[in-house]
Amino acid sequence: MKRGLIRRFPRLWRMTRLVRRWYYARRHAYPDWAEMLTAAPSLWSAARGAAAGGPKVLLASSIGATAHAVSLESALAVALTLRGAEPHVLLCDGALPACAECEASLYPDIRRFAERGPAADLCQDCTWPAERVYRRLGIHVHRYSEYLTADDRQEASRVSRGCPSSELRATVWRGVPVGEHALAGALRFFATGSLDDEPQGEAVLRRYLEAAILTAAATGRLLETLAVSSMVVTHGIYVPWGLLSEVARRAGVAVSTWNVAYRKRRFIFSHEDTYHHTLLSEPRDAWEHQALSDGQERELMDYLASRREGLFDWIVFHRAVRQRPDDLARELGLDTAKPVVGLLTNVSWDAQLHYPANAFPTMLDWLVETCEYFAGRPDLQLLIRVHPAEVSGFPPSRQPILAELRKHIPVLAPNIFVVPPESGMSSYTLMSLCNAAIIYGTKMGVELTSVGQPVIVAGEAWIRNKGLTFDASNRDEYRTLLDRLPFPNRLDADQLARARRYAYHFFFNRMIPVPFFEPKAGYPLFRLKLSSLDQLLPGASPGLDTICDGILHRQPYVVGRTRAARTPAPTHA
């Protein structure tokens, strides 16, 4: 019976279209602007008239099925109109053969996706809910198919089908690194860090490469047609978002990327590039000379303490209970006479882009080398905490890091201890047992340095380049840092104060508050909750002012620095 259900899944998915339409339209997954527009017709009519011919801003996140993105970007469209800008929207109308909405978990038979793509299922209900939102606001919606020709489609198909397997990931089309974003998209589709063990991996990658080329072609033609001054797009990576950003930058259009921040009702915005890159490269003067008041330090430490239970965060991967370090040490069998070094993994498929400072090509390479090193250091104990999001995130990883590690090291050395992703042990309590922590890309580096713990960074973690951690850029540097373990001391008072300045900047100033987004359980992550359009007017919300000043005037996306002298933000190198 189960096998028969799997075979009928695509048909059942299509049969639920009416149900999904009702859910999307009636259950408030998408904002309904009709009531607010009716309550303030003169305000909205006057604002639209005044904004006609103003700076054109393209809200380009494209995938209509991402209800949370439509909620944020439709609110931005209204706010920008109230500030004299003319917003436009770009939506995919089924023109792409693959995108970030597609996931392997939706396709029991991945061959079906590899051969046919999402057109017969996911695309059917992607465009219309978002288009409905923007049409009600009277905002011009552009569709991908309007900017693609038959020649574009033929060329995208020819390049993606004809490219040698060894060159797919490095493919550059008209100067745009389409292969890099296609690979990130395919890894996200499979929820895996490598395509090597996926029978349909290359076929899906070729599909994403075709989609990347079509996105680049459509974006380029739209920007040639429409005099856009700035573009807003979620993430800034994957397909289509990464290609939108790449093409816009090359056309001289200011790009703003965004994503949901960790804290509830807050968002991270960045100029020109994905926040995965900008948080690594932003100038230190944004935070290192900003001494914290006693109140700010208490506010920071209270928030960091709350992260153990995720009380004030959008997404929580596990609800840890209060645990004593000694109890966990006993349960794991740790030797209290030997120093413990913690190692924290991250999800292998997440944001797989090129980072030139990485000491290793992949997280798995790093993990294998680290385990091999500690096998020769019986004076130390290595405590590996696998990221809980491997099993509790969405989508769950299809490439568990421990299974991959066992392929290289079937039996770990006796001084290496592993806490699997499904364990209820608190990562924070586990790290309190450790002399130091080793990380690749996890955000916990920001939190660990804030409590004085030394941290070695081998990957693209955002705490890198802040003068707070031991950063390795190659294998030799990494080995040299490991040879220094155990560290004789924790961070000193000056380093600790510096770490907390950065943490405050990261959690409070870079995460911009927008109070009228209400967190909710299930899908979508949040919904728009406004009582009137007045809440979107200039001066009504400092966080919204920060975002709009960033989009329109290139001001920094940092709370408290908006409406300063309007100096341009750093341009993309």
Q: 361-417 pLDDT, tens per residue?
A: 888 999 999 999 999 999 999 999 999 888 766 666 777 899 999 999 999 999 999
Task: Tell me whether residue 571 is in a domain.
Answer: no
Whether residue 518 is found in the same domain as residue 501:
no
Residues 230 and 359 in one domain: no
Asked if 413 contacts 383 with a C-beta cutoff of 8 angstroms, the reply is: no
Q: How many CB atoms lie within 10 A of CB 417?
A: 19
Residues 98 and 201 in one domain: yes
Are 210 and 299 in a shared domain?
no
Give yes or no: residues 24 and 170 share one domain: yes
Token couple for 455? 């941290």
By CB atoms closer than 10 A (0-12, 13-18, 19+), residue 212 is buried
Comparing 347 with 110, the larger pLDDT belongs to 110
Q: Of 66-70, 275-279, 381-385, which range is least confident?
A: 275-279
First to last CA, the chain: 57
Instruction: Write out pLDDT tens, residues 152-171.
Output: 999 999 999 999 999 999 99
Query: For residue 48, is it within any domain?
Result: yes
- Same domain? For 245 and 319 the reply is no
**pLDDT beyond 50 at 562:** no
**pLDDT per position as a tens digit, 15-49:** 454 455 445 544 568 998 988 888 888 999 999 99
Q: Does residue 573 carry a pLDDT above 70?
A: no
Q: How far lies 563's CA from each of 50, 239, 539, in Å?
A: 22, 34, 11
Is the model's pLDDT at 236 over the cut of 80? yes
Residue 567 lies in a domain: no
Q: How many CB atoms lie within 10 A of CB 259?
A: 16
Residue 108 in any domain: the answer is yes
Q: How confident is the model at residue 276 (pLDDT cuts 50, 70, 90)?
A: confident
pLDDT for residue 431 is more than 80: yes
Domain match, 241 and 321 both: no
In the predicted model, is pLDDT for residue 437 greater than 90? yes
Q: What is the pLDDT of residue 520?
A: 79
Q: Which two tokens stand for residue 88?
A: 């436009």
Let me know if residue 572 belongs to a domain.
no
The range of the structural domain enclosing residue 322 comes to 292-509
Please check the confidence at residue 351 and state whether its pLDDT lies above 80.
Answer: no
Examine the pLDDT at 74 and tell me if it is beyond 70.
yes
384/282: higher pLDDT: 384
Mean pLDDT of 139-160: 98
Q: What is the biggest distance separating any 2 CA atoms in the chain, rounded to whole angstroms?
A: 75
Cα–Cα distance for residue pair 275/225, rounded to 1 Å: 28
Statement: residue 443 has pLDDT above 60:
yes
Q: Are 562 and 83 in contact (CB under 8 A)?
A: no
pLDDT at 5 over 50: no
**65 three-class SS:** coil
- Distance, in Å, from the CA atom of 421 to the CA atom of 133, rounded to the nearest integer, reads 39
More confident residue, 5 or 279: 279
| Residue 190 pLDDT exceeds 70 | yes
Helices (H), 333-424: 363-375, 389-392, 401-408
Write the DSSP assignment of 95-126 as a string of letters. --S--TT--GGG-SSHHHHHHHTTTTTGGGGT
Average pLDDT, the chain: 89
Q: Among 319, 340, 445, 321, which Cα is nearest to 384's?
A: 340
- On whether both 263 and 310 belong to a single domain, the answer is no
Residue 489 resides in a domain: yes
CATH number at residue 440: 3.40.50.2000
Q: Which residues make Cβ contacts (< 8 Å) with residue 286, sequence separation at least 6?
A: 505, 509, 556, 558
pLDDT at 570: 34
Higher pLDDT, 209 or 194: 209
**Together in a domain, 271 and 361:** no
- Where residue 389 falls (left for φ over 0; alpha for ψ -120 to 50; beta otherwise) is alpha
Cis peptide before 356 (omega within 30 of 0): no
Q: How many structural domains compose the chain?
A: 2
Looking at residue 537, its pLDDT comes to 97
- Residue 491 inside a domain? The answer is yes
Identity (one letter) of the amino acid at 469?
T
Shared domain check, 331 and 226? no
Average pLDDT over every residue of 334-363: 80
Task: Note whether 233 and 326 are same-domain residues.
Answer: no
How much is the pLDDT for 350? Answer: 61
The answer to whether residue 560 sits within a structural domain is: no
Does one domain contain both 502 and 530?
no
| One-letter identity of residue 395 | P
| Count of beta carbons in the 10 Å neighbourhood of residue 32 | 14
Percent of the chain whose pLDDT exceeds 70 = 88
Q: pTM of the prediction?
A: 0.89
Which is higher by pLDDT, 354 or 345?
345
Q: Is the peptide bond before 395 cis (omega within 30 degrees of 0)?
A: yes
* Boundary of a domain, candidates 509, 534, 565: 509
Identify the residue with better confidence: 144 or 322: 144
- Residue 359's closest CA among 444, 478, 464, 481? 478
Query: Tokens for 339?
Result: 């120093």
